[in-house]
Amino acid sequence: MVLSGNDKTNVKGLFAKIGGQADDYGAETLERMFVTYPQTKTYFAHFDMAKGSAQIKGHGKKVAAALVEAVNHIDDIAGALSKLSDLHAQKLRVDPVNFKLLGQCFLVVVATRNPAALTPEVHASLDKFLCAVGNVLTAKYR
């Protein structure tokens, strides 16, 4: 699966709209993921799961930053996220299925906050982008 020129434009455009709220998007994505897919909490047994917890906010910021970094280097996501890819392969070892769940929740956050922006075409591009990020993060698993 390859990101077309259109996909890249759509993704960059959407993230430009998100702008400084990326941290909030990240935190809400995680909150939704933990509620909607409780099994994802198994990777965060040490976290305070209360709504608005500092840990969830902090981790949401990290997730958002990684997505923004990928958007800013959308022609070479693998290069941009190489260290993160190593981390997931060697230390975190989050099962690959969970990246799709995170992606779904990010799409839901975008949908609730920017319904007009999430046209079917932009939805397709964003979904492809999130898949690409997930693929990069699991690329070195074996």
Of 37 and 47, which CB lies nearer to another protein in the complex structure?
37
Q: Which of 66, 118, 139, 140 binds another protein (CB under 8 A)?
A: 118
Q: Could you tell me which stretch among 4-12, 76-84, 88-96, 123-131 binds another protein (CB under 8 A)?
A: 123-131
Is 32 a residue that touches another protein (CB under 8 A)?
Answer: yes
Is 107 a residue that touches another protein (CB under 8 A)?
Answer: yes
For the four alpha carbons of 8, 33, 87 and 68, in that order, the dihedral sign comes to positive
Is 65 a residue that touches another protein (CB under 8 A)?
Answer: no
Q: Which residues bind another protein (CB under 8 A)?
A: 31-32, 35-37, 104-105, 107-108, 111-113, 115, 118, 120-121, 123-124, 127
